[in-house]
């Protein structure tokens, strides 16, 4: 075992702000420690994650939009949505999802609330459109599920436990073996010379670390960068319907006059938050293209070009987004560094799913 790197792992540099208060300069940190996982519940959750019987029309599972083969996303700019609908945002990757400050691109859910995000994904009309009582009845008619729930929870499958079991499985979805994590844990040779140059740029000239720092490589903040909207939200009626329905559900003022994704504004209702989105984690970015809430940035080289140009147009654009004047070599080094945040591809084995077997009379 290598010794931890003392310089990088030491407490963050302390800065004195104008008011004399002490603030910490953002710094790097290795991946967070794995959360505690209940193995029996996570095993049920693993099956349910891949089981299409949890969608209303049995056509899709969580894995349809969060597939291990596509870095736990779907590899598309915008998510398809439930049969007969289309979604207006990119399906996010689920790597290290147990460690988010907020969930959802607009930050509408608290990061610690995996049970709620699972419930929403299952029951919302635009993702799996599942009635929770129907889910219970379906799972009760699968003897293996009934037995597994009995062993793990002491009773029949039930709404909150179904969400909880999938939430338990989500905790197991983690970055493994990323060169930059190994480097931070003391393995100097884990980064190439070009990646090490990219790391310096990330902390220095390019100032990415202002927002992408700490164990999740995210400040857990909300920022407007001016990422281009996806034109389909204006031209595709199915996408626009889902977007306006989302604005309506959130009680967004005067939403009928909105035709673009306004981000966190629907949560705060404060115009300064128009166009602000959650800072995503950057672990495993090499597996999660295309990028951004709108999926409009195709490759990591395009991401770097976007930042180099000082981002896009936005009324509330963060002052931290400025033109960077990077040379071609510097851009390549930054891309190489982003690739070092990427670990092994996930195991793509789909668990064997147990079959229905109608219950005997009197045993329901
Ligand atoms: C039809 C596609 C689709 C299906 C099916 C689906 N999701 Fe999602 N998921 C999305 C999209 C799109 C978002 C982002 C929504 C937003 O930000 O408005 C999302 C967001 C999430 C998030 C938040 C991640 C983050 O970093 O903010 C989690 C967790 C999640 N889904 C888990 C699940 C689970 C578990 C299931 C199955 C019960 C599931 N999803 C089914 C498309 C889907
Ligand atoms: C002002 C804060 C801020 C700074 C500085 C910043 N980012 Fe970001 N980053 C964000 C936010 C917010 C998003 C999501 C924006 C959106 O979807 O509209 C993002 C998205 C990304 C993504 C896409 C991740 C995904 O899963 O889609 C990558 C890659 C990225 N940033 C890399 C960088 C690099 C490289 C730099 C430095 C050149 C940088 N960022 C500087 C806040 C920031």
Nearest atom within ligand 1 for CA of residue 109: 27
CA 349, CA 278: separation in Å to the nearest integer? 31
Q: How confident is the model at residue 9, as a pLDDT?
A: 41
Q: How confident is the model at residue 24, as a pLDDT?
A: 76
Q: How confident is the model at residue 38, as a pLDDT?
A: 98
CA 278, CA 237: separation in Å to the nearest integer? 26
CA 149, CA 343: separation in Å to the nearest integer? 33
Q: How many CA atoms lie within 13 A of 289 on its CB side?
A: 10
Give the closest residue (by CA) to ligand 2 atom 6. Answer: 208
CA 135, CA 45: separation in Å to the nearest integer? 14
Give the closest residue (by CA) to ligand 1 atom 11. Answer: 91
* Pocket flag, ligand 1, residue 100 (CB < 6 Å): yes
185 C-alpha vs ligand 1 centroid, how far in Å?
31
Ranges under pLDDT 70 in the chain: 1-23, 364
Q: How confident is the model at residue 179, as a pLDDT?
A: 98
280 C-alpha vs ligand 2 centroid, how far in Å?
7
- 49-97, pLDDT tens digit by residue? 999 999 999 999 999 999 999 999 999 999 999 999 999 999 999 999 9
Q: How confident is the model at residue 361, as a pLDDT?
A: 80
282 φ/ψ sector (left φ>0, alpha ψ -120 to 50, else beta): alpha
Pocket test for ligand 2, best of 279, 281, 297 (most atoms within 8 A of CB): 279
Ligand 2: residues with CB < 6 A are 206-208, 210-212, 223, 225, 227, 277, 279-280, 282, 285, 288, 291-293, 303-304, 307, 318, 320-321, 334
- 10 Å CB burial of residue 186 (0-12, 13-18, 19+) is middle
CA 204, CA 25: separation in Å to the nearest integer? 12
Q: How confident is the model at residue 360, as a pLDDT?
A: 84
Instruction: State both tokens at 305.
Output: 């070009």
Nearest atom within ligand 1 for CA of residue 88: 12
Q: How confident is the model at residue 18, as a pLDDT?
A: 53
């Amino acid at each position: 075992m290598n010794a931890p790197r003392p310089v990088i792992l030491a407490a963050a540099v302390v800065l004195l702000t104008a008011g004399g208060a002490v603030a910490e300069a953002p710094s790097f940190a290795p991946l967070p420690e794995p959360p505690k996982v209940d193995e029996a519940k996570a095993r049920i959750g693993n099956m349910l994650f891949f089981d299409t019987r949890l969608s209303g029309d049995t056509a899709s599972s969580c894995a349809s939009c969060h597939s291990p083969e596509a870095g736990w996303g779907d590899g598309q700019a915008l998510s398809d949505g439930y049969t007969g609908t289309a979604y207006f945002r990119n399906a996010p990757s689920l790597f290290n999802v147990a460690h988010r400050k907020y969930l959802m691109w607009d930050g509408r859910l608290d990061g610690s609330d995996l049970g709620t995000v699972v419930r929403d994904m299952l029951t919302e009309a635009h993702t799996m459109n599942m009635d929770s009582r129907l889910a219970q009845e379906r799972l009760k008619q699968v003897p293996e599920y009934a037995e597994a729930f009995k062993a793990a929870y002491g009773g029949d499958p039930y709404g909150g436990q179904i969400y909880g079991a999938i939430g338990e499985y989500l905790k197991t979805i983690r970055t493994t073996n990323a060169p930059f994590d190994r480097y931070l844990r003391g393995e100097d040779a884990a980064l190439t010379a070009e990646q090490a140059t990219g790391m310096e740029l990330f902390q220095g000239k390019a100032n990415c670390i202002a927002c992408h720092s700490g164990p999740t490589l995210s400040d857990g903040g909300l920022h407007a960068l001016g990422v281009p909207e996806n034109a389909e939200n204006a031209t595709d009626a199915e996408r626009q319907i889902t977007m306006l329905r989302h604005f309506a559900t959130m009680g967004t003022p005067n939403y009928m006059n909105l035709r673009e994704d306004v981000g966190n504004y629907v949560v705060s209702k404060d115009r300064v938050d128009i166009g602000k989105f959650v800072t995503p984690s950057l672990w495993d970015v090499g597996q999660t293209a295309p990028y951004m809430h709108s999926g409009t940035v195709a490759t990591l080289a395009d991401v770097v070009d976007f930042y180099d140009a000082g981002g896009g147009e936005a009324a509330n654009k963060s002052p931290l987004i400025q033109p960077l004047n990077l040379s071609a070599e510097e851009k390549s080094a930054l891309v190489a560094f982003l690739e070092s945040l990427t670990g092994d591809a996930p195991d793509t084995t789909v668990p064997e799913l147990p079959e229905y077997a109608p219950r005997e009379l009197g045993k329901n």
